[in-house]
Amino acid sequence: MAGFVSPRAQVLSDFESTSDWTSYPDTGASVVLSTVPGVDSDALQLNYNLSGGNFVSITNNTVGGLNFTALGANALQFSYRASPLVNTLQIQLADSDGATTGSSDKLTYKQLVLGDNAWHSILVPLSGFSLYPDGNNSFDPASVSHLSFGLTKDDGSAGMGVVSFDDFKLYHLEGPSSLVNSYENFVPDCSSLNSCINERTPPLASGAFDVNRPDWGSSQIVTTQAHTGTHSREIHYTLPSGTAGFVGFSEGVGPSESMVGATAPRTAVLGTDEIVFYAKGLAGGEKLRLQVKSTDLLYPFPTKYLPVELTTSWQRIAVPFGDFKALDSRLDLDSISQIVFLFEPDPVTHLDPGVGRVYIDDVSLSRPSAPAPSFVKTLEDFSGSKIITRYGEYSPTGEATVALSFEKDPSVPGSSADNKVGRLNYSFAVGVSTPYAVVERALGVNFVADPALRFRFKGETSANDIEVKVTDADGTVYRKVLSDVTNTGGVWKSAEIPVDRFSFFTAGADSNLDWRRVSEIELVVARGVAAAGTVAFDLLESVPGVDFSKSGIGRVITRVSTPDNPFSPNGDGVKDLFHLNYNLAQVSRVRWRVFSLQGIPIKTVDDASRPAGDHVIEWDGTDAAGRLVANGLYFYVLDADGADGTDSFKQVVAVIR
């Protein structure tokens, strides 16, 4: 339905399946859901009968998160730039298992930052994330509720640092285009999962194999050589002549602690898929063997003798999995669990491979025929408002501090002159081992950023009401009623409802709806005619707003505009005041009052005679006693009494701190 989506509209439901919607009929009413041809693809149709009951409804409670599965998103890209202070970068995605992210499963990606003050762009398959099982032990990609990013110390540096982030984007990757190990994710003396970086099960590297003969070889992470980044793996071997011994290390490619737990393979591979890595020798002429292991094939494992000898320069080496299948047809490519790098004498000649020192870097799986990664959706580009987006900042008291700001920074490669980034200023205390400094935002619908709800509908037979009910995270419900609209004669219609047109329906923990934390949307067909009928829905979206401006209001008030709605009276210098710009055609007595949505007077801001021309009224978000009002929706009334009569104008205003 891409042709019907406005550039920044967020699709909340495409109605192409009945699975995301739960139906509920009133007593005596009935409803059956089915899919029918929609505006561009399928739509959801309600076949209802209101001969007995008063309503039927459908409810969607997934709008509080993003459906990565439906989007086809299986990779996350982001950019960062860090000051010289070296710590661990952490990116985290949380699902919707619990009421908070602390009680939900999370996918976590970590790597050491490069403190070179240069921008780095990273594309990470979701299969490269680790699972933190804080919910039901299975991350749900169909309901991703939050994105968080920041730093953890993890044996890094204490002190103050700055890291800027930009362009968190979702991508779709075809095939196993997956980084197995870049060797940048190394933490010295790592002893537990929470303090390690992307530790998988089994461990990524097993070091020298022949533990009974440690004098034959060793394996370690070094910074003296690297193809990219600052780290690589060094293998040093000394094998006596005539022995059957070996030295090597392994990389786990599955099972992995990923979205589906630690018991499932990471990914199935094709015979044309390749193991890709970079290698070099210290002296040149070193010979390397490659072996693959699968969970269903016992020793001996297929071993590939590489056709090239290593040189003293980095070489890109690509070995198709089909080469191993040709060595042993029993190999199941769907259950590959390890890639093994070996240095051992030739099994036929037993010639001594001698002494060698080899470096391996950037081990990955690749599908050469796969198309380039395709862009799916931007999660955060920092072009909006930190206040409207509603970020949380988290660090342990006394151990760390963190502060996020949105700053103009055109230095990001390919960005425009007015590009903004998220700048994280943080500090870690001395003597504390694993503090953290992270920020978090919700990924669900945010009707403050996109302050209108839009959907398509068509119906036949009966003329009934459509009620749209919106529920926030604490259970408060607001409602908008569209009267007698269900009979469109089978023609698709569009309904677009600004958030200020909704009114209070029922209270949750309070009576103010938090439009940034909407958890549920309900569409109700309410009885106007006691009969059967059909109504179909398609393409539910949140729609961006524009600065409000209206002319031709009356003979006294000729024009009104409100450029700062919503506004945030929190003293940060960004939209701290609400401005009402208006024009009078003649001298008038003007009164401007603010009310709660229940009609309770909050404050009279202006009550005086004003000349003809342009005027501005400011409201600082306080009530008559000078106290800041609570977050939520209010409405104002502008009255003007002039020689030609009285004009009145009313509009809803949102307060968000």
Report the mean per-residue pLDDT for the chain.
80
| pLDDT surpasses 50 at 159 | yes
Residue 188 lies in a domain: no
Find the CATH number of the domain harbouring 579: 2.60.40.4070
Contact 157, 361 (CB under 8 A): no
Lowest mean pLDDT across 66-75, 138-147, 317-326, 569-578: 569-578
Q: Across-strand partners of 430? A: none
| Distance separating alpha carbons of residues 51 and 30, to the nearest angstrom | 9
pLDDT of residue 297: 61
| pLDDT surpasses 90 at 458 | yes
| pLDDT surpasses 50 at 237 | yes
| pLDDT surpasses 80 at 247 | no
pLDDT of residue 241: 66
Strands (DSSP E) contained in 67-127 are: 75-82, 88-95, 106-112, 120-125
Rounded to two decimals, the pTM is 0.65
**Do 224 and 341 belong to one domain?**
yes
pLDDT of residue 547: 58
| Residue partners of 625: CB distance under 8 A and separation at least 6 | none
Domain range for 312: 194-360
User: What number is the average pLDDT over the span 105-128?
Assistant: 82
**Do 517 and 580 belong to one domain?**
no
Share of the chain above pLDDT 90, in %: 31
Give me 250's structure tokens: 């392994």
Domain boundary among 360, 383, 399: 360
**Do 347 and 204 belong to one domain?**
yes
pLDDT of residue 322: 86
Lowest mean pLDDT across 34-38, 196-200, 574-578, 613-617: 196-200
Could you report the per-residue pLDDT of 494-543, keeping only the tens digit for each? Answer: 998 888 788 889 988 888 888 878 889 999 999 988 899 999 999 998 88
DSSP state, residue 27? T
Higher per-residue pLDDT: 125 or 181: 125
Higher per-residue pLDDT: 92 or 116: 92
pLDDT of residue 183: 59
pLDDT of residue 309: 78
Give me 128's structure tokens: 């490269």
Could you report the per-residue pLDDT of 254-279, keeping only the tens digit for each? Answer: 433 333 333 333 445 677 788 888 89
Residue 184 lies in a domain: no
Find the CATH number of the domain harbouring 209: 2.60.120.430
Give me 304's structure tokens: 């590939």
Share of the chain above pLDDT 70, in %: 83
Higher per-residue pLDDT: 414 or 367: 414
**Do 216 and 303 belong to one domain?**
yes
Cα radius of gyration (the chain): 31
| Distance separating alpha carbons of residues 447 and 497, to the nearest angstrom | 11
| Distance separating alpha carbons of residues 135 and 103, to the nearest angstrom | 5
Using pLDDT thresholds of 50, 70 and 90, give the confidence band for residue 602. Answer: very high
Domain boundary among 360, 383, 405: 360
pLDDT of residue 549: 66
Residue 452 lies in a domain: yes
Give me 539's structure tokens: 């393409």
With tokens 């039927």, the residue in question is 56
Residue 630 lies in a domain: yes
**Do 51 and 108 belong to one domain?**
no
Structural domains in the chain (count): 4
Could you report the per-residue pLDDT of 44-65, keeping only the tens digit for each? Answer: 999 999 999 999 999 998 888 8
Residue 526 lies in a domain: yes
Residue 187 lies in a domain: no
pLDDT of residue 118: 87
Pairing status of strand 336-343 against strand 392-394: unpaired
Using pLDDT thresholds of 50, 70 and 90, give the confidence band for residue 253. Answer: low
pLDDT of residue 521: 95
| Residue partners of 6: CB distance under 8 A and separation at least 6 | 541, 543, 544
User: What number is the average pLDDT over the span 307-313?
Assistant: 81
User: What number is the average pLDDT over the span 392-401?
Assistant: 90
| pLDDT surpasses 70 at 465 | yes
Where b means 16+ CB within 10 Å and e means fewer, 425-458 reads bbbbeeeeebbbbbbbbbbbbbbbbbbbbbbbbb
Three-point CA angle 62, 64, 70, nearest 5°? 50
| pLDDT surpasses 60 at 190 | no
pLDDT of residue 295: 67
Q: How far is CA 485 from CA 27, 153, 311, 490, 529, in A?
A: 23, 58, 76, 12, 12
What is the H or E stretch that residue 322 is in? helix 321-327
SS3 sequence of 393-435: EECCCCCEEEEEEEEECCCCCCCCCCCEEEEEEEEECCCCCCC
pLDDT of residue 440: 94
Higher per-residue pLDDT: 351 or 543: 543
Using pLDDT thresholds of 50, 70 and 90, give the confidence band for residue 625. Answer: very high
**Do 198 and 265 belong to one domain?**
yes
**Do 86 and 157 belong to one domain?**
yes
User: What number is the average pLDDT over the span 345-351?
Assistant: 57
| pLDDT surpasses 70 at 177 | no
Residue 243 lies in a domain: yes
Give me 108's structure tokens: 């976590």
| pLDDT surpasses 50 at 151 | yes
**Do 235 and 255 belong to one domain?**
yes
pLDDT of residue 133: 78
**Do 480 and 409 belong to one domain?**
no
| Residue partners of 299: CB distance under 8 A and separation at least 6 | none
**Do 208 and 330 belong to one domain?**
yes
**Do 622 and 647 belong to one domain?**
yes
Residue 367 lies in a domain: no
pLDDT of residue 261: 35
Domain boundary among 484, 513, 543: 543
Query: CB 481: neighbour CB atoms within 10 A?
Result: 14
User: What number is the average pLDDT over the span 539-561?
Assistant: 80
**Do 596 and 617 belong to one domain?**
yes
| pLDDT surpasses 60 at 405 | yes
Q: Which amino acid is at 41?
A: S
DSSP state, residue 622? B
